[in-house]
Amino acid sequence: MNAFFAPRRPGGGSSNAPTAANMGSSSSTSSHSSSSHSNINHNYGSGGNSFVQALGAPPASRHAPEEDEEPPIVPIDPVLCKEWVYPVNKEVREYQVSISKNCLLHNTLVVLPTGLGKTLIAAVVMFNFYRWYPHGKVVFLAPTKPLVAQQIEACHHSVGIPQEDTAELQGSVSPAERQRLWRDRRVFFCTPQTMANDLQRGACDPTRVVCVVIDEAHKATGNFAYCTVVRDIMRATRHFRVLALSATPGADNAKINEVISNLYIANLETRTEDDPELKQYQHARLEELILCNPSEASRDVERRLIALLEPVRHNLRRAGLLYSNFDPTNSSPFSVRNMSEDWRQKGSRAPQGWSEHQIASDFAILATLVGFVETCKNYGHGSLLEKLQDFETSNSNAKKHLAKGPVFKELVALLSSGAVAHPKLAMLMDILLEHFTRHASTGELEQKVRNYILS
């Protein structure tokens, strides 16, 4: 069915491709949406847990199929695809229904403030593609385990995807077991690094993927694993849906447009805290910024990370390819990619005694490890450990070489022991204990939710 073709890259000849300029403060900025849902059938049926609505005549995909284009490998159920299901075991919010329907029909970037239902929208989309494609694979990707766990909860309890059809793929799961799960299960929850590795080594068949949900989609820039996964699937098949989720799509239009391009987005669904349809679902908040100083244990983890990347940095510095002010503790993968791009624009010429392949590999490893330093600071040691474990199962020879070294093994052992607590978590525990102890002693309940932003 053409309605479920993935569109060509925005900018590739279509005048309908969305851009960051479309993402104003309007409560509905959709390049294709017909957001009138006054005809939603609220006769919830005998089960009482969902309503079924006709999908209507599916719109044409953003590109006409080529004459020589292969038909979809995964067949769609011709009966079930005529309608879609929405759960009513929780409060039905019209904006979530509207966004969900549009996400079923177009590759969509959904921008919603935190706490207003992106998780449920993702679960609805995943469930309907699970129904429509009995032999397809549906994948949810998130950069951290807590976000993965949150979506698993929503899929099991909000929409009722059977647990026996799902699999959570972590770095600790052996490659052989992951290959078996990819073969036997239908709905998957994992980090993008895990899926990228499994696609690279052939454990996951990309032609059977019918839906990919990407959380924290603002990270889909440069060579981040989200981009690798979507590109790899697109090379194998054009017949899959992309749903991208974010509360903060980007700091500037250029970055937002890069996300839209990398994920083949055809439709934008944005809502802001000022939108009238969201007001009734928001609570008053008092925000307080608390600065956390790194602990000595956290500094030790950072020092070990720097030691891990030092051989690669040393190689590139000897080759004269690093900026003189490059500091891995105060840098980003983007700055490393800029240095790599500068080298490529100069003709990708390798200095005498160096190969172009080695330099490109060193830049890629350096960008990844600099990203790990950011992960350690911003997301904690659990996220860092998960990314390091993905190194051990990677098909990249450079990553395998690093993973076999003593510095890598000692760092993984330290993080696996649980002996290192991130200072933000320690501070948060102290704040929460103080908060509930204080209010328990007075017998009063807080009337407002306090958001603590730990930096």
At residue 313, what is the residue type?
R
DSSP string over 321-383: -S-TT--GGG--HHHHHHHHHHHHHTT-PPPTT--HHHHHHHHHHHHHHHHHHHHHHHT-HHH
Q: Which residue has the higher pLDDT, 352 or 234?
A: 234
Q: Crossing angle, helix 356-378 and helix 381-392, to 10 degrees? A: 150
Q: Which of 39, 36, 66, 41 is nearest to 52 (CA)?
A: 41
The average confidence (pLDDT) of the chain is 79
Reduced DSSP (H G I as helix, E B as strand, rest coil) percent helix, strand, coil of the chain, to 5: 45, 10, 40
Helices (H), 201-332: 225-236, 253-262, 276-279, 296-318
Distances (CA, A) of 102 to 96, 274, 365, 383: 10, 22, 38, 32
Segment 53-69 shows an average pLDDT of 46
Which secondary-structure segment (H or E) carries 401? helix 397-403
Report the percent of the chain where pLDDT is more than 90.
30
Cα 299–chain centre separation: 28
Distance CA 23, CA 36 (A): 20
State the DSSP code for 272. Answer: -
Least trusted range by pLDDT, from 140-144, 246-250, 405-409: 246-250
Q: What is the pTM of this model?
A: 0.61
Tokens matching residue 310: 């030092």
Locate tokens 């959570």: which residue? 168
Please indicate whether residue 360 or residue 33 has the higher confidence score (pLDDT): 360
Q: If you compute the radius of gyration of the chain from its CA atoms, what whole number of angstroms results? A: 23
Q: b/e for 196-226, b at 16 or more Cβ within 10 A?
A: bbbbeeebbebbbbbbbbbbbbbbbbbbbbb
CA distances for 122 relative to 129, 203, 211, 242, angstroms: 11, 25, 11, 11
Query: Above 50 in pLDDT, residue 6?
Result: no
Residue-wise pLDDT tens digits, 77-120: 999 988 999 988 888 899 999 999 999 999 999 999 888 889 89
Residue that the structure tokens 């190194």 belong to: 391
Judge contact between 423 and 293, C-beta under 8 A: yes
The domains located in the chain, with CATH, are: 2-282 (3.40.50.300)
201 DSSP 8-state letter = T
State the Cα–Cα distance between residues 452 and 113, nearest whole angstrom: 16
pLDDT average, residue stretch 180-193: 94
- Whether 422 shows a pLDDT value over 90: the answer reads no
- Residue written as token pair 């860092």: 384
Q: What pLDDT, in 10s, does the model give residues 304-342?
A: 999 999 998 988 888 888 888 888 888 888 888 888 888
Stretch 243-266: mean pLDDT: 88
Alpha helices in 40-143 (DSSP H): 94-105, 118-132
pLDDT value at residue 10? 34
Output the CA–CA distances (angstroms, integers) from residue 372 to 14, 283, 309, in the order listed: 37, 35, 10
3-state secondary structure of 172: coil
Which has the closest alpha carbon to 74: 286, 236, 282, 313? 236
Residues 83/8, Cβ–Cβ less than 8 Å: no
pLDDT at 56 over 70: no
Backbone phi, then psi, for 215, in 5-degree steps?
A: -90, 155
Phi, psi of 165 (to 5 degrees): -100, 0
Tell me how crowded residue 160 is: count the other CB atoms within 10 A of its CB: 16
Least confident of 44-48, 91-95, 284-288, 396-400: 44-48
